[in-house]
Amino acid sequence: MPDIRNKNVAISATEMVGPFQEEYYHAVVDGFEVPYIKLRKNESDWDLVVDGRYSVTASGDEMDRWIWIIANAMAIAAGYTSHGEQSIPTNPFHRRLIGLSQQEFDEVKSEDHA
Q: How many CB atoms lie within 10 A of CB 34?
A: 22
Domain boundaries, the chain: 25-112
DSSP SS3 for 44: coil
Report CA 15 to chain centroid distance, whole Å.
Answer: 30
Q: How much of the chain exceeds pLDDT 70, in percent?
A: 77
**For residue 109, what pLDDT is reported?**
78
More confident: 21 or 97: 97
Q: For 4-46, write each residue's pLDDT tens digit.
A: 555 555 554 555 554 455 678 888 888 889 999 989 888 899 9
**For residue 69, what pLDDT is reported?**
93
Residue type, 89: P
Q: What are phi and psi of 54, to 5 degrees?
A: -120, 140
